[in-house]
Amino acid sequence: MLITNAATSNVATSQKVNNDALVKNNLSINNPMKNSKNTPHITVAENTPTRPVTTLTEDYGDSRDSGDSGGLAHPVPKSGPDMRHGIALYLEGVSVWFDSFRALNDLSLYIEAGELRCIIGPNGAGKTTLMDVITGKTRPTKGSAFFGQIHNLAKLSTEEIAEAGIGRKFQKPTVFEKFTVLDNLMLAAPKDKRVSKSWFTRIDAEIQDTLDSTLDQIRLKDLINKPAGLLSHGQKQWLEIGMLLMQRPKLILLDEPVAGMTDAETEHTAELCLRLKKNHTLIVVEHDMTFIDAISETVTVLANGAILAEGTLSEVQNNEAVIETYLGR
């Protein structure tokens, strides 16, 4: 019963899937790094492919909710993402068209492993569409999207992408209000190990470790027996981040994590992001500049589906085009 319920939550959509039936990855990666001003410097051995530059020629359609694999052949690598060359996420020339409207327009974005990247931009800039492409919810109409070297995000299903190690937290918390903090976390654990700690005296050692470190990260240890419905808005958000952490993602996407939070909660969330950064790659979409200032290294500004500017917060804040289009004078 609980497991059925869990399958309907945003977090549970990224539960691990049984991929026994999936064949080993067979993608050929044959087109090394191109010159681009966004391209980070990477030192690699001679003849080693640095980027999976596979230009997509198929039209993947324009449905935002195309979360299935659309009948495409998509061998799923059983291993985790290959980030040996330091790139966690690689998007090259990605466009998303909704009929004739271009929500993303030839967008190229490279996120290094261990990076905390902030994405800002006006309403309608394409931020959600970008997150949708990364999580497989929307297919690129054109371009390449890879997680590490081998996971082709344009071809994997949402579940396969979650299995590969990408976790997304949506803006609105969707915790199970009647269940305790602990039960919510246990429900988010990978399917094969998902048992409620309160029902069993013994618990998988790996899950126990993940639970302990998650509770350390989200600072809700003292509230484990509290029903989630009685938590503050901020605590619910942290719990939901904890539910993501139970799945041990490598790349975490946070969509407006501090919307509706008090100043103190915003500050705590900034501290949480900085703690998460020690072991994860993060992409944070936010409008709150105080929060961005507290956590940001590189900030990417999106407008009209393309990158308007990229740099430190103060660099983009002083960029004329950004002032004109987004921040104002």
Ligand X SMILES: Nc1ncnc2c1ncn2[C@@H]1O[C@H](COP(=O)(O)OP(=O)(O)OP(=O)(O)O)[C@@H](O)[C@H]1O
Residues that bind ligand X (CB under 6 A): 64, 98, 101, 103, 121, 123-129
Nearest distance, CB of residue 126 and ligand X, angstroms: 4
- Kind plus residue range of the DSSP H or E element containing 151: strand 151-152
Closest contact distance (angstroms) between CB of 122 and ligand X is 7
Nearer to ligand X, 185 or 252 (CB): 252
- Residue 77 CB, shortest distance to ligand X, in Å, is 28
**CA nearest to 242, candidates 183, 284, 177:** 183
Min dist. Cβ of residue 243 to ligand X (A): 22
Whichever of 91 and 211 has its CB closer to ligand X, that residue is 91
Min separation Cβ 170 and ligand X, Å = 11
In the bound state with ligand X, the residue whose beta carbon lies nearer, of 64 and 226, is 64
Closest CA to 139 of 124, 156, 125, 122: 156
Q: Are 203 and 197 in contact (CB under 8 A)?
A: yes
Q: Which is nearer to ligand X, 125 or 164 (CB)?
A: 125
b/e per residue, 302-325, with b = 16+ CB within 10 A?
bbebbbbbbeebeebbebeebeeb
Distance CA 122, CA 314 (A): 17
Q: Which residue, 154 or 239, is less far from ligand X as judged by CB?
A: 154
Question: Considering beta carbons, is residue 92 or 256 the nearer one to ligand X?
Answer: 256
Question: Which residue has 């309608």 as its token pair?
Answer: 124
What is the closest distance, in whole angstroms, from the C-beta atom of residue 244 to ligand X in the complex?
Answer: 20
Distance CA 11, CA 14 (A): 6
Q: How many CA atoms lie within 13 A of 37 on its CB side?
A: 5
Least distance to ligand X, CB of residue 137, Å: 11
Strands (E), 164-269: 166-169, 251-255
Nearer to ligand X, 98 or 199 (CB): 98
Using DSSP, state whether 311 is helix, strand or coil.
Answer: strand
Cα separation, 146 vs 74, whole angstroms? 13
